[in-house]
C-alpha cells in the first residue's frame, strides 16, 4: 500500500524575449514565464506500468511505450526520479496532464508539461531535482537543449539564463513597471530539434557568420537586461527588433513570422520577433499595456493570425482557462 496520495503540479509556459539559439552556444538569454502553461495530477497505482494521459490531446502512453517520444520522455523522467536513493515518489503512478500551450509553438509546451508532471509525481522537488527530472524528459524531445525552457517554466518571472561549461546559471531579473506582451501563432508548428540542427549545420559551413550573430545577440541581451531593469520598454522593443534581424540572417524566420512582426509594429508594438525555435511557432510583440495589445491582436486577426495577450507570470500562477492547445 502506497504512503503517497494524489498530487497536483503546475508550470507556466515561457516566452524567450531575446537570445534563443544563441543560448545553446553559451550566450545568455532573457525569458519570462507566462500565465498559460500546464497542470498535472498524479495518482498512485497498485500495479504498473506507470501511465501518462494528456487530456485534450487524447493521448495515453505507458512508461514501456518506446514507440513514441512522449512514452520515452515519461520513462526517462521516471528513471531519473527512481534514481534517488530516498523514496520520493510512489512506485507506479497514473498522471493526467493538460496544457493550453500549442505543441511546436515555441512557448515551452514540452518543458511545462515535464515540470508539471515531475511536480505532480514528486510533490515538492528541490530546484536541482526538478532540473534533473525535466532535463531527462526534455532530452528525448529536443536532443541537447540548453535548459532555458525548463528553467523558466519551473520558476516563472523574468530570468537571465546562461549555460556555461554544461552548468545552468539562472538569475531572476527585476521587471520595472511590468511587461505586456502579445503572443501570436504563425500557424505552423516547428520542431526545436530540427531548427537547432539547422543552426548547427550552418555553424559548420559558415562558422564566422554564426559566431558574429552570437556576438551581436550577446550585446543585445546585455542591453535588454538593463532596459528591463530600468523600465525602458522603448529600448527593449528596439533590441527585440534587432534580435529578429539576426535570427532571420540565420534562416530561422519565415514569411508568416516576418508578416506578423511587420503588422505588430504597424499596430504600435514597440518591438516584435520570433520566440523559441523559429521556422514557424510563435511571435512575441512588446506592447504598451492592454490597449496596445488590443491593437496588435486586431491587426493579426485581420491577417488571419491568432494570438493572445499575456503578462509576466510566476510559475504556479497558471489558470489554464482556455481549451488545450488553443489560442484565441
Binding site for ligand MEV (CB under 6 A): 16, 20-21, 23-24, 106, 142, 145-146, 148-149, 192, 196, 276-277
Q: In the bound complex, what is the minimum distance in angstroms from residue 148's beta carbon to ligand MEV?
A: 5
**In this structure, are strands 93-99 and 51-54 parallel, antiparallel, or unpaired?**
parallel
3-state secondary structure of 316: coil
Q: Which is nearer to ligand MEV, 51 or 133 (CB)?
A: 133
Q: How far is the CB of 111 from ligand MEV (least distance, A)?
A: 8
Distance, first Cα to last Cα, the chain: 45
Distances in Å between the Cα of 266 and the Cα atoms of 31, 186, 283, 292 are: 24, 17, 15, 11
- Residues 264 and 285: beta-carbon distance below 8 Å: yes
- Set of cell numbers at residue 165: 561549461
Grid coordinates representing 295 are 491593437
Q: From the centroid of its chain, how far is CA 141?
A: 13
Q: What minimum distance in Å lies between the beta carbon of 164 and ligand MEV?
A: 14
Name the residue nearer to ligand MEV (CB basis): 30 or 54.
30
In 3D space, the residue among 180, 150, 175, 178 whose CA is nearest the CA of residue 73 turns out to be: 150
- Active-site residue identified among 149, 230, 232, 317: 149
Residue 228 Cβ vs ligand MEV, minimum distance, rounded to whole Å: 19
Q: Which is nearer to ligand MEV, 30 or 297 (CB)?
A: 30
12 vs 192, beta carbon nearer ligand MEV: 192
**Which residues contact residue 291 at a Cβ distance below 8 angstroms, ignoring those fewer than 6 apart?**
none
Does 149 participate in catalysis according to the annotation?
A: yes
Task: State the DSSP string of 76-97.
Answer: HHHHHHHTSSS--S-SSEEEEE
CB of 94 to ligand MEV, least distance (A): 29
Contacts 24+ apart (CB under 8 A), 212-217: 213/22, 213/246, 213/249, 213/250, 214/22, 214/25, 214/27, 216/242, 216/246, 217/18, 217/19, 217/22, 217/27, 217/243, 217/246
Q: How far is the CB of 276 from ligand MEV (least distance, A)?
A: 4
Residue pair 328/308 in contact by the 8 Å Cβ criterion: yes
Give the side-chain half-sphere CA count within 13 A for 51: 13
Which of the residues are catalytic?
Answer: 149
Amino acid at each position: 500500500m502506497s504512503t503517497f496520495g494524489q498530487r497536483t503540479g503546475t508550470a507556466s509556459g515561457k516566452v524567450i524575449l531575446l537570445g534563443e539559439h544563441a543560448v545553446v552556444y553559451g550566450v545568455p538569454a532573457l525569458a519570462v514565464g507566462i500565465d498559460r502553461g500546464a497542470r498535472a495530477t498524479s495518482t498512485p497505482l497498485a500495479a504498473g506500468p506507470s501511465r501518462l494521459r494528456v487530456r485534450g490531446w487524447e493521448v495515453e502512453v505507458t512508461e514501456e511505450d518506446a514507440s513514441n517520444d512522449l512514452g520515452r520522455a515519461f520513462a526517462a523522467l521516471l528513471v531519473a526520479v527512481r534514481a534517488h536513493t530516498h523514496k520520493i515518489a510512489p512506485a507506479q503512478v497514473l498522471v493526467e496532464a493538460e496544457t493550453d500551450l500549442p505543441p511546436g509553438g515555441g512557448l515551452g509546451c514540452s518543458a511545462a508539461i515535464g515540470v508539471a508532471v515531475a511536480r505532480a509525481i514528486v510533490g515538492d522537488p528541490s530546484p536541482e531535482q526538478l532540473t534533473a527530472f525535466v532535463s531527462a524528459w526534455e532530452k528525448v524531445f529536443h536532443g541537447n537543449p540548453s535548459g532555458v525552457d525548463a528553467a523558466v517554466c519551473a520558476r516563472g518571472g523574468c530570468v537571465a539564463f546562461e549555460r556555461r561549461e554544461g552548468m545552468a546559471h539562472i538569475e531572476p531579473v527585476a521587471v520595472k513597471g511590468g511587461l505586456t506582451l502579445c503572443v501570436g501563432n504563425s500557424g505552423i508548428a516547428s520542431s526545436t530539434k530540427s531548427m537547432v540542427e539547422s543552426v548547427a549545420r550552418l555553424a559548420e559551413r559558415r562558422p564566422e557568420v554564426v559566431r558574429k550573430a552570437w556576438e551581436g545577440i550577446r550585446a543585445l541581451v546585455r542591453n535588454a537586461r538593463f532596459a528591463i531593469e530600468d523600465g525602458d520598454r522603448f529600448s527593449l522593443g528596439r533590441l527585440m527588433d534587432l534580435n529578429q534581424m539576426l535570427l532571420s540572417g540565420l534562416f530561422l524566420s519565415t514569411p508568416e513570422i516576418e508578416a506578423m512582426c511587420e503588422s505588430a509594429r504597424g499596430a504600435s508594438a514597440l518591438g516584435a520577433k520570433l520566440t523559441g525555435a523559429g521556422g514557424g511557432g510563435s511571435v512575441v510583440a512588446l506592447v504598451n499595456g492592454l490597449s496596445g495589445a488590443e491593437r496588435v491582436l486586431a491587426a493579426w486577426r485581420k491577417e488571419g493570425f491568432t494570438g493572445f495577450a499575456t503578462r509576466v507570470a510566476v510559475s504556479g500562477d497558471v489558470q489554464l482557462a482556455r481549451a488545450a492547445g488553443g489560442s484565441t
